[in-house]
Amino acid sequence: MSEKKILLSGIQPSGKLCIGNYIGALKNWVNLQDEYESIFLVVDMHALTVKQVPSELRQRCLSFVAQYIACGIDPDENTIVIQSHVPQHAELMWVLNSITYMGELNRMTQFKDKSKQHNKNINVGLFSYPVLMAADILLYQADVVPVGADQKQHLELARELAHRFNHQYSDTFKMPEPFISKTGGRIMSLQDPEKKMSKSDENDNNILGLLDPSDLLIKKIKRAVTDSGTDIVYDQSRPGLANLLGIYAKLSDKSIDKIVAQFEGKMYSHFKADLGELVVETLRPVQEKYSQLMDDKGYLETVLKAGADKSFVHARKTLSKVYRKVGFLLKK
Ligand code: TYM
């Protein structure tokens, strides 16, 4: 087995991948992939916690895999895997359920938000979602988990469950470390910059989709909510502008100070036009690669078969250790 440390992360195949997911997660995955033995999940089992159209879910899983690769994940050197292809995720979750307290899950802000959003479908899966996420991470003995700031609380639970299990039964799980960028960990909605940009937002004008056509991206940026000011400065009390500056900084790899100096004396419209161009130029190669990949489903299936085979080895090893520790009689 490789001597490298293990990196693991995942995205839920719901809605459409957006610049928030790109900046908060995918871009970091691409930058870190060579340094670690990396596993990237498409967490289809998590997606079932909100209503899905089965044929669309299937299609979206494949499309997300193609978008991971199009963004720069190298499937020859890393593992891309669909969560439901490795049954040990659900099996480990069951064991972890028994050491998780209701109170811990009740405190999860994502559960509270999603319960409000889907108040006709507050199912048990939505409640126990963070336990499945802990299983995803602990199953592969991940050292580092690059995510956006919204996943911090879930990661803390994963660490707490690892600690609790290790304490109760003896050392079994590695302690995963979150990797959350200081900037770009929370990209905000274009029309409502007090709220996180979300790939399942019902209002498409709130998000910049990775596969949105160029003219649409430019239009959405032009219409993004700013304020009545005129000068381009970074000020948290002007959240719309601060968010656009943050996106600019992450995509150009320039500091906010440098960008502010660059646009000194210029108007919002000028800044927005430049940002539009930057977003379009960043996504153009991603979109081109994506269409090539979607024309070759056979290739994507090969990537997924290899991913499932490779993950299964890690997953089986951890799960049999866990089953032994908790006292299950092993099958001969
Ligand atoms: P999900 O699918 O909601 O989001 C995928 C990744 O994108 C990040 N992200 C953002 N980052 C910055 N600004 C935003 N506006 C923004 N919106 C989303 C998320 O933080 C995440 O990193 N529960 C997870 C998926 C998951 C997972 C895992 C992640 C399941 N198992 C194991 C890591 C490890 C989720 O729903 O992410």
pLDDT tens digits along 213-260: 999 999 999 999 998 888 999 999 999 999 999 999 999 999 999 999
Nearest CA to ligand 1 atom 20: 148
CB 24 less than 6 A from any atom of ligand 1: yes
- The answer to whether the CB of 118 falls within 8 A of the CB of 50 is yes
174 DSSP assignment: -
Q: What are phi and psi of 220, to 5 degrees?
A: -65, -40
Residue pair 271/231 in contact by the 8 Å Cβ criterion: no
pLDDT of residue 332: 83
* pLDDT for position 3: 85
Q: Indicate which residue's Cα is closest to atom 29 of ligand 1.
A: 10
Domain 6-185+296-326: give its CATH code. Answer: 3.40.50.620
> Is the pLDDT confidence value at 1 over 80?
no
Close Cβ partners of 182 (under 8 Å, ≥ 6 residues apart): none
**Per CATH, the architecture of 212-291 is what?**
Orthogonal Bundle (1.10)
How is residue 41 written in tokens? 């999940």
Q: Ligand 1 centre and the CA of 261: distance in Å?
A: 32
Spacing, Cα 150 to ligand 1 middle (Å): 7
Predicted local confidence at residue 60, as pLDDT: 98
Global pTM value:
0.97
Q: Do domains 6-185+296-326 and 212-291 have the same CATH topology?
A: no
Chain segment 32-46, per-residue pLDDT in tens: 999 999 999 999 999
Of 52-61, 155-164, 231-240, the range with the lowest mean pLDDT is 231-240
Ligand 1, atom 7: closest residue by C-alpha: 21
Q: Which atom of ligand 1 is nearest to the CA of 137?
A: 32
* Backbone φ and ψ of 10, nearest 5°: -160, 160
What residue segments make up the domains of the chain, in order of their start? 6-185+296-326, 212-291
Instruction: Decide if pLDDT at 2 tops 70.
Output: no
- For 57, the enclosing helix (H) or strand (E) is helix 54-71
Active site residues: 114, 196, 199
Percentage of the residues of the chain whose pLDDT score is greater than 90: 94
The residues with which 6 forms a beta bridge, in sequence order, are: 37
Determine the distance separating the centroid of ligand 1 and the alpha carbon of 105, expressed in angstroms.
Answer: 18
